[in-house]
Amino acid sequence: YLAGVTNWPAENPPPPQGVVVKLLDSQGNGLAGATAQYYAGGWQAIPGSTDANGTLVTGIPASSGNLTFRMSYANASKEVAQNVTTNPIVVFQTTNVTVQLLDSGNNLMPDGAGTGAVQYYAGGWRDFGTTANGVARKELLPLTYSFSMSYANARQEKGGQNVASNTPVTFQTANVTVELRDSDAALMPDSAGTGAVQYYAGGWRDFGTTANGQVSKELLALTYSFSMSYANARQEKGGQNVASNTPVTFQTQNVIVELRDSDAALMPDSAGTGSVQYYAGGWRDFGTTANGVARKELLPLTYSFSMSYANARQEKGGQNVASNTPVTFMTTNVTVELRDSGGNLIPDGAGMGVVQYYAGGWRDFGTTAGGQVSKQLLPLTYSFSMSYANARQEKGGQNVVSTP
C-alpha cells in the first residue's frame, strides 16, 4: 500500500483488512442477498448480506486462525472450515441444478404437452421454477435435496439427491393407455360408441376420449384412479400403479333383456315386440326385442330397466348386470270373461263382447269366444271395458298379477 494515503478513490476502495466471505454462482459471478455465520463457542451472525459481487466483509481479523463459516442461501446452508490466517477469503459456490421432465420416449417434454412445476426441500418445500420445454434450472448450494415435480395435476417426489455430484434431477412420465373392450375382449369400435376417460389427481381430470377403444396420455409414474363413461354410465377403477401396471382396461358386459310369456317362452315377434330402456342419468334406449330378446354392451354396473309392451310399461330396479343377467320381464295371461246373470259364460249365440284395456289410452284386447278372451299383458294394474249389446261398461284398476 502507499504510505500515508488516506483518501482512497470510491471506484477503487482499499482491500479489507479482515476476513471476507463470498458467494459465487456456478459461473463465478457474485450472488447477492446471502447471509453468513461463523462459529465461536456458538454460531455468531455476521451483520449484513452479500452484495452484488457476492461479497460480505465480516469484520473478523485475518489472524483468527481456523474458523468454521456457514453460508445461507435459497433456504439452505453450507459450512466450510478454513484457516483464515493463511487465506482470509472464504468462498462458497453454488451449483447450477437442472431438473428435467422426460416423456416415456426419453424426450424432453415440450411446452405444448404441458409444463411441470418444480420444488425442492430446504426446511420446507420451496419453489424451484417451471419447466421450459422440459427443463428448469436454479443455482443452489451443493447439498443433498429432495425434489418434487407437479405435472398434469399430479405430484411426484424424489428424495435425497446430491446435486454436487449427481445432476440433472430427472422425472419421467409413463405413457398410460386406457382401453375399452367389449364382452368378447375386443377393443370397442367407434361405431359402437366412444368412451370418455378421466383420472383422479386432486379431483377428476379429463384424460381423453377413446378412438376405437383406446386413448393414451403421458402421466407421472404414480398410482391413479380412473373412470370410464360409456353409454351414459360411469365406472371407476381405484388405485392402479401406471408405472408397473398398464394398460388400464374397462370391459363391458353383454346385457340381455328378455320378454317371456306366461309359459316362460320367449315372446315371438308375431305376438308383438318389446321396447327396452335402461336408466343411466335418465332413461336411455336399449333396443327392441327380436323374438323376445334384446342385447346391448354396457359397463358392468347396476341399472334399472323398463319394458314397454302392448302399450304398457313395467320397470325393474337395481339389477347388477355384472353378476345377474339376463334381465327378464314376463307377461301374464289375462282372461276377460262375460257371464250371464246365472254366472254362466255367455255363448257366442247370445252375442259376443268386445274388450278393451287402458294403457295410455283405450286399446283393443279382443272379442269373446264362448264368453272369454285372453291376452298376454305385462303384470300391472289396468282398467278394462266390455262392450255388449251396444252398451259399454268399465272396470277400473284390476291388478292382473294377483287377479288375472
Residue among 155, 168, 166 at smallest CA distance from 221: 155
Please, what are the averages of pLDDT over each run of 10 residues along the chain (404 residues)? 46 68 97 97 96 96 95 98 96 98 97 97 98 98 98 96 93 98 97 97 98 98 98 96 92 98 97 97 98 98 98 96 93 98 96 97 98 98 98 95 90
For residue 167, the model assigns a pLDDT of 84
Distance between CA atoms of residues 213 and 76, nearest Å = 50
Q: Looking at residue 4, what is its pLDDT?
A: 46
d(CA 16, CA 62) in angstroms, rounded, equals: 10
Which grid cell sits at 94? 453454488
Task: Say whether 216 sits in a helix, a strand or coil.
Answer: strand
* Strands of 223-230's sheet in order across: 204-209, 196-200, 223-230, 233-241
Q: Which residues contact residue 78 at a Cβ distance below 8 angstroms, ignoring those fewer than 6 apart? A: 70, 71, 92, 141, 142, 143
How far apart CA 236 and CA 178 sit, in angstroms, is: 12
**Could you tell me the strand order of the sheet in which 391-399 lies?**
362-367, 354-358, 381-388, 391-399
Whole-number Å distance between alpha carbons of 129 and 148: 11
Q: What's the CA gap between 47 and 109, in Å, rounded?
A: 44
Quick check: 167 and 159 in contact, CB under 8 A?
Answer: no
What pLDDT is attached to residue 1?
Answer: 34
Length of the chain: 404
**Which SS3 state, helix, strand or coil, does residue 183 take?**
coil
Return the CA Rg of the chain. 41
Q: Which residues pair with 16 in a beta bridge?
A: none
User: Quick check: helix, strand or coil at residue 110?
Assistant: coil
For 24, how many CA atoms within 13 A lie in the half-sphere containing its CB? 11
